[in-house]
Structure 1
Amino acid sequence: MPYHKNKQQAFQAAQQGMKQLDDVYSQLVRDSADYGQQLKHLKNEVNETYQQIENAMEVASETQRQQLEKFRSDIEQIVNDVNND
């Protein structure tokens, strides 16, 4: 079932992207000398993860779709938090 495999792989890529994004976000140090570089890295992770979510949404099951929507919401919270600093 290649379709099912692609669906699962797309979802797992989005899941992994969220984990990496969470890792980068949790290591963000606002008073650090390289804060700008950290923000740039975070922005890249946000963009990459958002694209992975969009790709996964195209083939996601209903259960996966709900989780992907949560990922989108989590990304929005991260972006809002960083923008409000």
Structure 2
Amino acid sequence: MPYHKNKQQAFEAAQQGTMEAKEWYDHLVKSDADYGSQLHHLKQEVNEAFEQINNALEVASEKQRKQLEQFRHDLQAIVEEVNMYE
């Protein structure tokens, strides 16, 4: 993922990445035959979103910073939930 210098672009990338990770989590079904594959993809999405958040935090305004911290919190909750079932 390229580094974004523009505050708005960086924020939007982090927001989109977080939304995509949440969507993957919402559709994760342990009983599916391809659960392992889904879980792997979810982990990739979460890692990418964390990276996007970290990049955005480097250039974020104070208002964006608060929202980015919430995104990070939401992703951490997904990680903790998934780790409970592994």
TM above 0.5, one fold? yes
CA distance, structure 2, for counterparts of residue 37 and residue 18 of structure 1: 19
CA distance, structure 1, for counterparts of residue 76 and residue 14 of structure 2: 15
SS of aligned partner of 1:55:
helix
Equivalent position of 2:46 in the other structure: 46
Equivalent position of 1:62 in the other structure: 62
Structure 1 residue 44: Cα displacement: 0.3
CA distance, structure 1, for counterparts of residue 68 and residue 10 of structure 2: 11
Structure 1 runs (4+) greater than 6 angstroms displaced: none
Equivalent position of 1:74 in the other structure: 74
The runs of 5 or more residues in structure 2 that have no matched partner are none
Deviation per residue, 1:22-65 (Å, 9 max, x gap): 11111100111111000100000011000000000000000000
CA distance, structure 1, for counterparts of residue 13 and residue 73 of structure 2: 17
The runs of 5 or more residues in structure 1 that have no matched partner are none
How many residues get paired?
81
- Superposed CA RMSD: 1.0
User: Hey, which of these two has a bigger chunk of helix by percent?
Assistant: 1
Percent of residue pairs identical: 60
Equivalent position of 2:23 in the other structure: 23
SS of aligned partner of 1:31:
coil
Structure 1 residue 80: Cα displacement: 0.5
Q: TM-score, normalised by structure 1?
A: 0.92
